[in-house]
Amino acid sequence: MDEQVNTPDGTPAQAAQQPSAPLEVRRSMRTASEPRELAPAVMARMQHVRSRRDQMTTAVDDLGEIVQELTRAYVRQVLLIENLRGRVKALEEAARDDTDAPSIL
């Protein structure tokens, strides 16, 4: 869709020629030249970065716990499988011994 937008001088311009950044991004990208304006913006950005870092740390810690749980479950399953293999082997040997033994009838 081609939308036409009137430019400040009154001539039509294509909407595709306008910046495609979202409105809130364009608003937050204004330049601040006075230190009193810049300091709160920098502090807010630092707080945002710290908050995201904390979220990421929590996520990584949670993933570590999940990996530990999965590892423990895997080890239990491997031990169970080995135990079952031993039992199957013993049953197969017992069945083989029963078929090799002479029948007394």
Q: Give the pLDDT confidence of 5-48 residue by residue, as tens digits.
A: 555 555 555 554 555 556 565 556 667 678 788 888 899 999 99
Query: Is the residue at 77 inside a domain?
Result: yes
Share of the chain above pLDDT 90, in %: 50
Q: What is the mean pLDDT of the chain?
A: 81
Query: Is the residue at 14 inside a domain?
Result: no
Query: Is the residue at 39 inside a domain?
Result: yes
Query: Is the residue at 91 inside a domain?
Result: yes
- The tokens for 21 are 């950044």
- Could you tell me which residue, 97 or 64, shows the higher pLDDT? 64
Query: Is the residue at 49 inside a domain?
Result: yes
Domain ranges, residue 51: 33-100
Name, in order, each residue with C-beta under 8 angstroms of 15's C-beta and a sequence gap of 6 or more.
2, 3, 4, 5
Query: Is the residue at 82 inside a domain?
Result: yes
What integer is the mean pLDDT of 80-85? Answer: 98
pLDDT on residue 36: 82
d(CA 54, CA 82): 42
Query: Is the residue at 9 inside a domain?
Result: no
**Residue closest to 17 by CA, chosen among 3, 29, 27, 31:** 3
